[in-house]
Structure 1
Amino acid sequence: MNTQSHISSTPIPSLKWVFSKPSRALAFGLGSGLAPIAPGTAGTLWAWAVFLLGGFFLSTAQFAWVIGAGLVFGCWICGQVSEELGKKDFGGIVWDEIIAFWLVLVIIMPTTLWMQILAFALFRFFDAIKPGPIGMIDRHFKHLEINGDTSPSDSKKILWRGFGIIADDLAAAFFTIITIALLHIILSYLS
């Protein structure tokens, strides 16, 4: 298969395409990743809403298990859907934002709405701008694959690609949590 035929056969995600497979629906955050502007922000907002709703049904420990399973399963989902799209990290794949923001929320909750808004803003900042180590992680995984390789990937490559998609969002979550913790320490010290 040459590069031209691979590019022409790359699907353009639509609502119908996304909901034709459970893995696509999850990868695209049940359609939130189809947002025409800032799909990562839309996916993070969706994650926030689902987390708040889930709080009525799940304990913190149960949500932590959901996040752990979602992280492991998400490596396969993100890798497989990016394989189907023929792109390393398609912007509409938002499962990485969902899992990473759930991690932030499970650690900081219960907290005020203002702290949740701050967590959202910090996470989106770190995920979009990718300062320092976050950008290094993102670039590392994007440059691992051979450019122009159009051959189908094996399971190991799909899982590794999926982990690469998720890794920078986990780093953004880590920096969000650290920033909130430092802010909490500073405010406690000042009061």
Structure 2
Amino acid sequence: MNEEPTATSPASISDAHVIAETPRPGFESVHAADAALPPRRAGVWLLRRSPLHWISLGMGSGLSPFAPGTVGTLWAWAAFLLLDPMLSDALGEAGWGWVLLVGFFVGWWACTRTAQAMRVGDPGAVVWDEVLAFWLILWLVTPSSLVAQLAAFLIFRLFDAAKPGPVGWADRRYKGQPGTLPGWRQGFGIIFDDLVAALCTLLVMALWHA
């Protein structure tokens, strides 16, 4: 999702303070009492806690103070261009299919845990949804020119940001109840609306080339 983080904790709270008040195990335990605590701001402290946060934050690209969803999508584009030749050589045409399948389930886990750690249902810093969705787009439109890939990037960002029609429905479908901690349902929802935005992007691209 491309929204900026909605944490209500004071800006003066440092990462060191957040780390100090947070249990140290690598994977967060979830307690009902945590729902009454204020949201946490995204920061480097997340990357220090668990490999899952590296995934959900797009290797740190989601920590961008400006438009993290766009920055995460740009990181996905660069990673695709780097990985595509290696995956094609190693696994053939099915390579990206396996990456996306595994990435969906691992990403669901990672997005859920990061949302729980931040106590926010859909943190703006979580960009694995953009990464996974844009990899799907690039996989299905490749081979294509950089101009076509740029058009796909712009169309996808428009759908993801504006959330028209089915994208808005998908975004609202799995929202949690106020005052409750995010769960697996909300973790799925983080990814789901971006996949719908990806399908809408692919439909526009197909009509463009028709």
- Normalised by the shorter chain, which TM-score bucket? 0.7 to 0.9
Aligned-pair CA distance for 1:13? 2.0
Which residue of the other structure, out of 67, 74, 85, is the alignment partner of 1:56? 85
Matches within 5 A, 1:28-177: 28-59=57-88, 60-142=93-175, 145-150=176-181, 158-177=183-202
* Residue number in structure 2 paired with 1:188: none
* Residue number in structure 2 paired with 1:189: none
Aligned-pair CA distance for 1:161? 1.6
Note if contact 2:137-2:202 (Cα within 8 Å) is conserved in structure 1: yes
How far apart, in 2, do the equivalents of 1:91 and 1:127 lie? 12
Note if contact 1:75-1:161 (Cα within 8 Å) is conserved in structure 2: no
How far apart, in 2, do the equivalents of 1:114 and 1:2 lie? 47
* Residue number in structure 1 paired with 2:23: none
Determine helix, strand or coil for the equivalent of 2:157: helix
Change (3 A) 1:2 1:114: closer
Aligned-pair CA distance for 1:53? 0.2
Aligned-pair CA distance for 1:137? 1.1
Note if contact 1:32-1:39 (Cα within 8 Å) is conserved in structure 2: yes
Aligned-pair CA distance for 1:12? 2.3
**2:46 pairs with 1:17:** yes
Aligned-pair CA distance for 1:176? 0.4
Could you tell me which runs of 5 or more consecutive residues in structure 1 were left unpaired when the two chains were aligned.
186-191
**Structure 1 runs of 4+ off > 3 angstroms?**
1-4
Aligned-pair CA distance for 1:3? 5.9
Aligned-pair CA distance for 1:18? 2.1
- When structure 1 is superposed on structure 2, of 39-48 and 75-84 the one drifting more is 75-84
- RMSD in angstroms over aligned alpha carbons? 1.5
Give the counterpart letter for 1:134 in structure 2.
V
How far apart, in 1, do the equivalents of 2:48 and 2:151 lie? 32
Aligned length: 174
Give the counterpart letter for 2:155 in structure 1.
L
Measured against aligned partners, the alpha-carbon deviations of 1:6-46 in whole angstroms (never above 9, x if no partner) come to 11xx4322224324310001100011001111000000000
How far apart, in 1, do the equivalents of 2:102 and 2:72 lie? 18
Measured against aligned partners, the alpha-carbon deviations of 1:119-159 in whole angstroms (never above 9, x if no partner) come to 000000000000011101111212xx221125xx6xxxx32
Could you tell me which runs of 5 or more consecutive residues in structure 2 were left unpaired when the two chains were aligned.
1-32
Determine helix, strand or coil for the equivalent of 1:56: helix
How far apart, in 2, do the equivalents of 1:105 and 1:19 lie? 31
Give the counterpart letter for 2:62 in structure 1.
G
Note if contact 2:35-2:119 (Cα within 8 Å) is conserved in structure 1: no
Give the counterpart letter for 2:197 in structure 1.
A
Between the aligned residues of both structures, percent identity stands at 43
Give the counterpart letter for 1:17 in structure 2.
L
Give the counterpart letter for 1:148 in structure 2.
G
How far apart, in 1, do the equivalents of 2:108 and 2:34 lie? 27
Give the counterpart letter for 1:179 in structure 2.
V
